[in-house]
Structure 1
Amino acid sequence: MQDFGQIDVKPYLTTKSLVPENQETPIQFSNDDIVHPKLFYRRNHFTYPNFTSSFYFLTVEGLVHTSKAFSLQDIYSLPSKNVKAVLECSGNKRGLFQPKVFGEQWGKGAISQGIWKGVPLRILLQHTGLLNTAKEIVFEGHDFGERPDSNRIVHFSRSLPIEIALDPDTIIAYQYNSRPIPFKHGFPLRLIVPGWYGMASVKWIKKITVIDRAFSGPFQAKDYIYYPNNENEKGKFPVTNINVNSTIQFPREMQLLHKGIYEIKGIAWTGKGSIEKVEISFDEGHTWEPCQLDAVPQKYAWVSWNYKWNAANDGEYAIRSKATDTYGNVQPFDPFWNKKGYGYNAHDRIKVKIE
């Protein structure tokens, strides 16, 4: 079996912008299901925050029985759990939308995966209690800056509905892959909401506030909303769960190959349930062949897949992949276009040439 010309060198992040820093994981070169911290994608709205972790306290206030400020030692002493999860920017693959939309033109690498360790939020909230009127929980990060649409200084803040916040797998994480979370990924504390797009997993958590209404912060009410209509807000709805998706890692787009037998490889993931199957097509989706999954699919995590391809004839080939999850969600032929470019999950498609 031939390979696709992989070389034994270390890949690097792909820079999309430097201020704020936004960089992609070299996902096409990843052979592991745990991404090294140095290759974990970076998504920021502002410059990195400046604070002293020695005096770090996480405040929980609002509609609670007892407001409380937790030190890091308080949090480290509470019962913890590990969650292996994909984190995917909701703008992943934005650059593939047609017609184009404004925003960071992410390719296929605004996605990474690893094992997070932390305290389930529900356990933390047992120490403060919740009033019966509580509806949402707001998480404010230490990162802040000016929004160009309002000329106001704001912190990055997001909310979760109570039922998601109290899910046993929603955690206040302090470790990534058995080490402290790197500063650029949220040290010392980061919210992890497995199954939701990455904007929900607020970094550098400063404060948690329990409220009795829908949160109206700009990163909740303006951004991270699907707007199906370019001219108005008709039909809008919030970005939440990760859409079922797949990416072909090897071969690479527009690669030249010789005749032979190759192993087409990729990953597939979803926000609800787990991956049930992955299929591949060489005729623009008219017929499909089943792929082999490399492991038993897990909730929240991507699964690697492969397909043995006998490339016997010269010519150009368009290769498509599509995944189906246990909820019956299937990658569509075309993406759901929305003017902010969120949630792209059409069939992955590459072209190669055999000569």
Structure 2
Amino acid sequence: MYYNDRVLKTKPHLITRSLIPENQETPIHFLEDSETPSTMTFRRNHFIYPDISIQAYFLTITGSVKTPVILHYNQITSMPSQTVTALVECSGNKRAYFEPKVFGEQWTEGAISQGTWKGVPLSYLLSFTGINEGAREIVFLGGDSGEKKGLHVHFERSLPLEKALVSNVIVAWEHNQKPLSPKHGFPFRLIVPGWYGMASVKWLKTIRVIDTQFSGPFQTDDYVYYPFMDQDKDSVPVTSNHVNSVIQQPLDRQILKPGQHEVTGIAWTGEGIITSVEISLDNGATWKSASLQNNPHKYQWMKWSYSHVFERNNEYTIKIRAFDSNGHSQPNKAFWNRKGYGYNEISQIIIQIE
């Protein structure tokens, strides 16, 4: 927006998907830097925000361990720390695009953010307690709770032992060099790089080691791929992020002047790095390589761009597909599942040139 030759900066706002509980996504074209500000980081909740104070807060590590412990906030924040820059994406990101439609928060493309998280490695915490032989999973209980199918439950999920003990899985207390905000997990949040956001449990209160398979409602009911509308066969759990991308500029259905324009966006994946991004300006008939704008880093998005001279009186269907180091790429058709997780169909916009 221009006025008297001065650029008037517009402050972006989150897009509300629901108010109680609060669920808001980021306008995707504002994701420019490697760190999304806390105020612009998407918010995903199943229940209302918990009321937690540092004075009354303790983190309990219990279950199939040699020495259970109860730790105060100050004890944990004084431990050796690690910093991880990683994206967090809701597994329901882009759910609004599934056909046939599915129930759930109708996220478009902005249920994703990237930040720098500081905390203590989970493996370091568990080195104090020890883990009993035969341990199988680690369960993480958050401070948020409410009604689900007539029962009062906490948000609670598990990780298999081999994933939980990876060095970059941390119990974080800082986000972008500041204490975690109350809306993003204060005082502690589990960060699990490479997995969808449901694994990064917020308001972490209890860590419990178990020697069985956990079956809480947010583990075996929600966050499961159900391929069929009316039956549960062939279901598999939601885990790592799918390779994916978005087009940030131009906007879908935008009208542009003829001439040279930059098509830009971001691409990301779970357990790997983005190796290439391809663009089609003719609805997928031909593909060309887009330019990658930053060095590849595992668990972080890749910015990409492509410059093209667009001709007058034309309509362009622009498609984008990303490829990663594990041989995965975006499919022509997303894998439909009845709860609407993991949408990663080839990204597409249509623009018109006057």
TM over 0.5: yes
Shift of 1:29: 2.4
Aligned to 1:179: 178
Shift of 1:313: 3.4
Note the alpha carbon deviations across 1:117-155, whole angstroms, 9 max, x for none.
0000000000100001110000000100001xx200000
Note the alpha carbon deviations across 1:199-247, whole angstroms, 9 max, x for none.
0000000101100111010000100000011110111000000000000
Q: Distance in 1 between matches of 2:29 and 2:21?
A: 24
Aligned to 1:51: 52
Aligned to 2:96: 95
2:207 maps to 1:232 = no
Q: Distance in 2 between matches of 1:204 and 1:213?
A: 24
Contact 2:275 2:325 in 1 (8 A): yes
The CA RMSD over aligned residues, in Å, is 1.0
Q: Distance in 2 between matches of 1:336 and 1:283?
A: 24
Q: Distance in 1 between matches of 2:320 and 2:195?
A: 22
Q: Distance in 1 between matches of 2:207 and 2:137?
A: 10
Secondary structure in structure 2 of the residue aligned to 1:74 = helix
Note the alpha carbon deviations across 1:263-303, whole angstroms, 9 max, x for none.
11100000011000001011222211101111111000001
2:242 maps to 1:243 = yes
Aligned to 1:3: none
Note the alpha carbon deviations across 1:164-202, whole angstroms, 9 max, x for none.
100000000000011101110000100000000000000
Aligned to 2:345: 346
Secondary structure in structure 2 of the residue aligned to 1:51 = coil
Q: Distance in 2 between matches of 1:54 and 1:194?
A: 29
The aligned amino acid for 1:169 is: N
Aligned to 2:106: 105
Note the alpha carbon deviations across 1:39-84, whole angstroms, 9 max, x for none.
0000000000012221211000000000000111111121111111
The aligned amino acid for 2:252 is: E
Runs in 1 of length 4+ with deviation above 6 angstroms?
none
Aligned to 1:72: 73
Q: Distance in 1 between matches of 2:192 and 2:317?
A: 35
Q: Distance in 1 between matches of 2:128 and 2:79?
A: 10
Contact 2:283 2:316 in 1 (8 A): no
Aligned to 1:118: 119
In the TM superposition, what are the counterparts of 1:144-293 in structure 2 within 5 Å?
Answer: 144-147=145-148, 150-293=149-292
Instruction: Label 1:196 to 1:7 Cα distance change in 2 as closer, same or farther (>3 A).
Output: farther
Aligned to 2:36: 35
Secondary structure in structure 2 of the residue aligned to 1:53 = coil
The aligned amino acid for 2:234 is: G
Aligned to 2:3: none
Q: Distance in 2 between matches of 1:53 and 1:263?
A: 48
Secondary structure in structure 1 of the residue aligned to 2:55 = helix
The aligned amino acid for 2:112 is: I
Contact 2:257 2:312 in 1 (8 A): no
2:4 maps to 1:9 = no
- Structure 2: where are the runs of 5+ without partners? 1-6
Of 231-240 and 282-291, the range deviating more from structure 2: 282-291
Secondary structure in structure 2 of the residue aligned to 1:240 = coil
- Structure 1: where are the runs of 5+ without partners? 1-5
Q: How many residues align?
A: 348
The aligned amino acid for 2:38 is: P
Q: Distance in 1 between matches of 2:137 and 2:201?
A: 15
Q: Distance in 1 between matches of 2:171 and 2:252?
A: 38
Secondary structure in structure 2 of the residue aligned to 1:54 = coil
Q: So what's the TM-score if we normalise by structure 1?
A: 0.97
Contact 2:195 2:240 in 1 (8 A): yes
The aligned amino acid for 2:175 is: Y
Q: Distance in 1 between matches of 2:324 and 2:217?
A: 32
In the TM superposition, what are the counterparts of 1:307-322 in structure 2 within 5 Å?
Answer: 307-322=306-321
The aligned amino acid for 1:95 is: A
Q: Distance in 2 between matches of 1:306 and 1:242?
A: 22
Shift of 1:7: 6.7
Q: Distance in 2 between matches of 1:255 and 1:51?
A: 45
Shift of 1:11: 0.8
Q: Distance in 2 between matches of 1:115 and 1:276?
A: 22
Instruction: Label 1:7 to 1:242 Cα distance change in 2 as closer, same or farther (>3 A).
Output: farther
Q: Distance in 2 between matches of 1:7 and 1:299?
A: 36
Q: How high is the sequence identity, in percent, across the aligned residues?
A: 53
Q: Distance in 1 between matches of 2:52 and 2:173?
A: 16
In the TM superposition, what are the counterparts of 1:132-151 in structure 2 within 5 Å?
Answer: 132-147=133-148, 150-151=149-150
Of 55-64 and 304-313, the range deviating more from structure 2: 304-313
Q: So what's the TM-score if we normalise by structure 2?
A: 0.97
